[in-house]
Structure 1
């Protein structure tokens, strides 16, 4: 099963996608923190044969976190974990790690 994390800032649209090549064609389910997600206001799930897309129309802080896509058919089950995160948070961590490395060089 193939999936890709998404780096999306607050206020933008997000799409998490997973692919499962299977015969017969799989059914998909989406979960966040072990709770099943259904299409609702602001969230839409669309299945296209061998792939499924979870779309968030307007990302908020509450949307960030781990998601699980589960594909099932009569022959078995497979899942993929995806992570929706803020690009600002990621850059902030890199900046801090870089700064700590620079200070350690001065201490030597």
Structure 2
């Protein structure tokens, strides 16, 4: 559904580019499905969408944003505690950026 957004997320695009992709995708979806009935409010961010809250959006966004597991394994193999700590920080940043909807 939000393929452009996920693609930009996988490539590490900055937040402003991600939000542009999100808005572009969202407007395309609404223009294709609601020719004359635009909703009163369009979600401002990806975490405000039904796709994120009730679908697979949270999982897909987190999966695309997590750092590669190879970084963690490389840190373990080299015994590099700083690299391991950075990997964990990046994972926590992803969790904060894309919180689980409850």
Which structure is higher in RCO with an 8 Å CA cutoff and minimum separation 6? 1
Q: What TM-score, normalized to structure 2?
A: 0.26
Higher relative helix content = 2
The structure having more radius of gyration, on CA atoms, is 1
Q: What TM-score, normalized to structure 1?
A: 0.25
